[in-house]
Copies of this chain bind each other. A is one copy, B any other.
Amino acid sequence: MYDVRDWRHVFKLDPNKDIDDDLLERVCESGTDAIVVGGSDGVTIDNVLDLMVRVRRFPLPCVLEVSTVETVTPGFDLYFIPTVLNSTNSKWITGLHFEAMREYGELMNPDELVVEGYCIANTECKAAQLTGVSQKMDKEDVAAYARLAGHLLKLPVFYLEYSGVYGDPKVVQKAADILSETKTTFVYGGGIQTAEQAKEMGKYADVIVVGNAVYDFPEEALKTVAAVKK
C-alpha cells in the first residue's frame, strides 16, 4: 500500500509537537493507510528524524511532506512535495522546487516523489500567510483549482487544505465531482475531529487527513479511521 491511489485515510503528525509512545502506537496501529510527517513551523531535521525513527517501528508507509529544503532526509517511503496552486508567490509554486532539484535532484528517486497540487482554502491559517495566499474562494474558484490540478496539470494529488477549519461539504463535493473524471487523487485536510466529520468528507474525498485532532482529541481522532474505511 505504497500508492496514494489506494488510500482512504492518513494521520499527519507534526514533528514540532509531542506525542507519547502509547498514543503513537495506537495511531500507527489504527488501520490508517499512512503516516505523513509534516508541519508549518518549528520543523527541523532533528525533530523530523526523531519522529521518523519512532514511526518506522510500525509496518505502514511513512511519508515526509516537505515544507523546507533543509529538512529533506533519506529514509522515508515517499516524499510529498506541495506546490501551492493558489499562491501569489512563485517561490511556493516552482521556486523552492527548482532549488531542491538544483541541489539534491541527482540524489532523488523520481518514483518516491509525489507532487501535491495544494489549494489553501483557509486564508487565516499559517500556511496561507507563509505562502502568500489571500484569495477568498467560493465553490467555483475551488472547482477551477481542481480542474487546474486534474484536467490541466494532471497532477497525482489535489490537496484541498482548510488547515484547522472544517470545510464546506458542498465545495468539497463539487471538487470531488470534477476529480472523479481524472487520475488525480483528491485529498481533503482541515478540521476533522470526529468520526461523523470524517465520514462526511470521506464521502467526497479519496483520502482524508486527520492532523491536529490527534493531539487535541486523540480518542475521537482514532475513530476517524473506521469511519472512512467501512
Contact = CB atoms under 8 A, between A and B. Distances in A.
A98 B148 contact: yes
Interface residues of A, number: 37
A125 to B, nearest CB: 19
Contacts of A101: 144-145, 147-148, 151-152
Interface in A145-182: 145, 147-148, 150-156, 181-182
Contacts of A115: 152-154
A90 interface: yes
A102 interface: yes
B143 A105 contact: yes
8 contacts: A81-B152, A85-B98, A97-B153, A101-B144, A102-B140, A105-B143, A153-B153, A153-B155
Given A115-B153, A144-B102, A94 B93 contact: yes
A110 interface: yes
A153 to B, nearest CB: 6
Contacts of A105: 143-144, 147, 151
A86 B95 CA distance: 8
A151 B85 CA distance: 19
Contacts of A88: 90, 95
B145 A110 contact: no
A141 interface: yes
Contacts of A141: 102
Interface string A92-125: 0111011101100100101001010000000000
